[in-house]
Chain A
């Protein structure tokens, strides 16, 4: 329990910092928030009387000093009240839960697919380090890391949807809509993980206990699957945990490229329509998810490593 508890004070500081940065961003954003709120409340009106705008400013403390506004907002957030979306007048939380599924589906489908391919490639590569198979895997992962995912998405649309006509290119809905976006993101996962898995497997395979097993006459296949692999999985899992932020980012680009609904499209849409409550919630969500996952990975690593256990 100690590795987890000792990280809490630092985590709290960082969460406070995140909330402060998020609030400052929305505080500095140009545009009259009172008019935005009025527009949302009375969609059929075009002009608003000054008294109405003033009433809104009073209600939302828009003229109060920065610190007052921040504390008021922070208090609401801590109570779980993220406010109403300006544009749809529904609670931000409901909008979020309606969209999060699509992003999670995309992210985890791609993660699974990419890891599967990366695992196969890395295992083939380390069977014969320096062979053409090995070099090919490294080259492929270098290309994958340099590949702009939006461009790969466009190429896949061109190949899979336009020329062959197999798959729908844009939008959300049936599982067929998931194929091209998931392939795009999986390619990125494959690229980043193949190289890591390969080096972890090489490292695990070069350890003394593997040589001992070999001398004892244990078949190469059994050594690989029962020992080397297990050894390589620990650092690999850590890296995957740390890369979840990259996965979410990738998911956002892919969603926007393929015009899929999800958190990425929601963020872009609400940023452009200046729907500040939704924007602030999403930014906080991504930042907090990242910090919490990182601290967990770090703590698990510390707990599982006898040298770092205190």
Chain B
């Protein structure tokens, strides 16, 4: 066997199969990358602006010039849907991320703290948990004036408790395991144990919860905007677009079909990705 043969053999040696979780993450990121690129191409390629009114072209059905039709002010619905991504998906992303961070910090602190602090923090969490998301948001946004900022504050205030409960209970389970005891016996400070040993083991489950929190928040943001308590028209948020289009439902149903479809598809996609992620994580365990 010559050296060249050996080299060829080394090259065709099968690489170890990547784990399903890794494959899923790779594929997921590819899809997200493609969608982001499509969004950028769309924003760059559309000849219209999100607030550009064309009164000669009001309520026109989908056509070659306006793929998704135009609304009651002659604005291009396709363009507005693209801009709406930042409102509907972006705002809810920020809100659920805020919930994830706040909730995890409180949960880890409660899990690692003494009994009294733990008790106090968990009673506070339970008290907030009692307020149904939507009712709290309607009340807050209504009393303080419907606006995007108040919507974000209201939804953030009621989005963190699930993460607190989950991260606390996980942290307590993990803290009882041998490797944490070992770290403690080695004299590692509690802060470092929390950051290096407990947090990394909590993150996967938190991510699964976060996907469902994100999709719920999309429904809440667009729902509240549709009811007039959130992002206000003329902003191109999908729920606000539905509110705009509701009056023209009979003559121009495309005004309400497309924004609703956008919400449905986004939420469905995030939910399915979250389900898959959960299945893969439980398999590897």
Instruction: Show the binding face of A for B, using Cβ within 8 Å.
Output: 10, 13-14, 16-18, 20-21, 25-26, 28-30, 142-143, 145-151, 154-155, 157-158, 162, 245-246, 248-249, 252-253, 256-257, 267-268, 271-272, 274, 279, 282-283, 286-288, 290-291
Q: Is the interface of A mostly helix, strand, loop or mixed?
A: helix
Known A-B contacts A142-B272, A267-B138, A274-B143; A291 and B130 likewise in contact (beta carbons under 8 Å) = yes
A148 CA to B92 CA in the complex, in Å?
Answer: 15
Contact B127 A249 (CB under 8 A): no
CB neighbours of B227 from chain A (8 A): 150, 253, 256-257, 268
Residues of chain A contacted by B32 (CB below 8 angstroms):
none
Contacts of A145 in B (CB 8 A): 267, 271
Q: Is the CB of B144 within 8 A of A148?
A: no
Residue of B nearest to A17 (CB): B127
State whether A29 and B260 are in contact (beta carbons under 8 Å apart), knowing that A146-B215, A268-B138 are contacts in the complex.
Answer: no
- Tell whether A30 pairs with B144 under 8 Å between CB atoms, given A142-B271, A147-B264, A286-B131: yes
Q: Is the CB of B242 within 8 A of A249?
A: no
Most buried by A among B132, B135, B140, B227: B135
B139, B222, B264 — which one has the most chain A CB atoms within 10 A of its CB?
Answer: B139
Chain A hits for B127, CB < 8 A: 13-14, 16-18, 20-21
- B139, A271: Cβ atoms closer than 8 Å: yes
Instruction: Determine if A268 and B142 form an interchain contact, defined as CB atoms under 8 angstroms apart.
Output: yes
- State in angstroms the CA–CA spacing of A17 and B143 once bound together: 20
Residues of A within 8 A of B140 (CB): 25
A-B contact pairs, 6 of them (CB 8 A): A17-B124, A17-B127, A146-B267, A150-B226, A162-B249, A271-B142
**Closest beta carbon of chain B to A289's beta carbon, Å:** 9
A21 and B131 form a contact (CB under 8 A): yes
> Across the interface, which residues of A come within 8 angstroms of B136, CB to CB?
283
Closest A residue to B271 using CB positions: A146
Cross-chain contact of B223 among A14, A16, A29, A148 (Cβ < 8 A): A148
Chain B residue nearest to A272 in the complex (CB):
B142
A149 to B139, CA, bound (A): 20
Q: Would you call B133 an interface residue if the criterion is a C-beta within 8 Å of the partner chain's C-beta atoms?
A: yes
**Do A245 and B139 have beta carbons less than 8 Å apart?**
no
Q: CA–CA, A267 to B131, complex, Å? A: 14
